[in-house]
Chains A and B, each alone.
Chain A
């Protein structure tokens, strides 16, 4: 491919990046109309940009996101998961009257803390994906070692929420 003047190359890049002024755009259109090498470069850069953007996007939002909870934090997540599982059991049994007053207060405390956080997603997010095809992992946790809080970041494309191990939302 014939070489392209560096100023034209810069113009091409500015145009692809949306940084070119209307005057620069007009100049580039004139150059591309008369210079096959410049036009080829413009097409090549645009094509490479599209491929790279797709690859980068795929890398960060691919199905493997939020798969791993580091070993040290997994223990905390596991305890939280067991708490959530206990809360679910208590809530299911609640209408059946299987618990007296003591069960009532205990269930409420657990429910306020972690109910609604799926234990399978916390303990082993990979397990939660089984049977759901290529669903993304929706949680990852951060353990704040200063106070023992486990922050659960729930990713659902547009927003996140934080749950702490102490139950504060």
Chain B
């Protein structure tokens, strides 16, 4: 059975949350918020939007968890819900929000030096890297983000994305190739 990030099985927690136990839901949020947030972040790219969508995701999960049939597939179910909520939110926000497209704001970039020139360079690097990751097709971006944000194995990524391990590997190879093309010349 799949193990949570702490090494414990999710099954008892998922069953408890499905019965409406809030403490169990809280623990699931604690375990899984980070990677869900990471995937949403790589989809929408803007921290404020990530916050709003993440809230909507957990509310949707709480409202729908009674419909989760197989507790052993919790993460795959969770990401299906999260992806659906994020796509809906993106469509709703499309008319009123200019998509920033993962472009970093100056305050989000770590201060690498006091010199303005270095900071501008860091901002540009940050912006281009995020843009390149966001520019990956979702089927490559999602395993790539999970691998780099959580350090998950191919098996764990496959469980969350409902993919065979071999497919995860193939997509990660392809993601590296696409990212390399997108970042050509960046380090020169």
| CB within 8 Å for A56 and B173 given contacts A62-B108, A67-B47, A142-B58 | no
Count CB-based A-B contacts (< 8 Å): 133
Instruction: Please report the C-alpha to C-alpha distance between residue A9 and residue B175 in the assembled complex, in whole angstroms.
Output: 12
Q: Which of A10, A14, A17, A161 has the most chain B CB atoms inside 10 A of its CB?
A: A17
Contact of A55 with B169 in the complex, beta carbons under 8 Å: no
Contact of A58 with B58 in the complex, beta carbons under 8 Å: no
Please encode chain B, from 98 to 140, with 1 for each CB lying within 8 Å of some chain A CB and 0 for all others.
Answer: 0000101101111000000000000001100110110000000
Instruction: Please report the C-alpha to C-alpha distance between residue A9 and residue B173 in the assembled complex, in whole angstroms.
Output: 8
B57 to chain A minimum Cβ distance, whole angstroms, is 9
Contact of B176 with A13 in the complex, beta carbons under 8 Å: yes
Contact of B129 with A55 in the complex, beta carbons under 8 Å: yes
A78 to chain B minimum Cβ distance, whole angstroms, is 16
Q: Does A160 contact B (CB under 8 A)?
A: yes
Q: Does B179 contact A (CB under 8 A)?
A: yes
Instruction: Please report the C-alpha to C-alpha distance between residue A36 and residue B94 in the assembled complex, in whole angstroms.
Output: 47
| CB within 8 Å for A68 and B51 given contacts A48-B176, A51-B125, A60-B41 | yes
The residues of B that contact A159 with a CB separation of less than 8 Å are 30
Interface residues, chain A, with chain B CB atoms under 8 Å away: 9-10, 13-14, 17-19, 44-45, 47-49, 51-60, 62-70, 73, 134, 140-144, 146, 151, 153, 155, 159-162, 164, 168
Contact of A144 with B59 in the complex, beta carbons under 8 Å: yes
Contact of B29 with A60 in the complex, beta carbons under 8 Å: no
29 of the cross-chain contacts (CB-CB < 8 Å) are A9-B173, A9-B177, A13-B176, A19-B153, A45-B176, A48-B183, A52-B132, A52-B144, A52-B148, A56-B41, A56-B130, A59-B41, A59-B102, A59-B130, A60-B149, A62-B47, A64-B51, A64-B108, A67-B48, A69-B55, A140-B51, A142-B59, A143-B59, A151-B22, A151-B58, A153-B58, A159-B30, A160-B29, A162-B23
A10 to chain B minimum Cβ distance, whole angstroms, is 5
Instruction: Please report the C-alpha to C-alpha distance between residue A168 and residue B25 in the assembled complex, in whole angstroms.
Output: 14
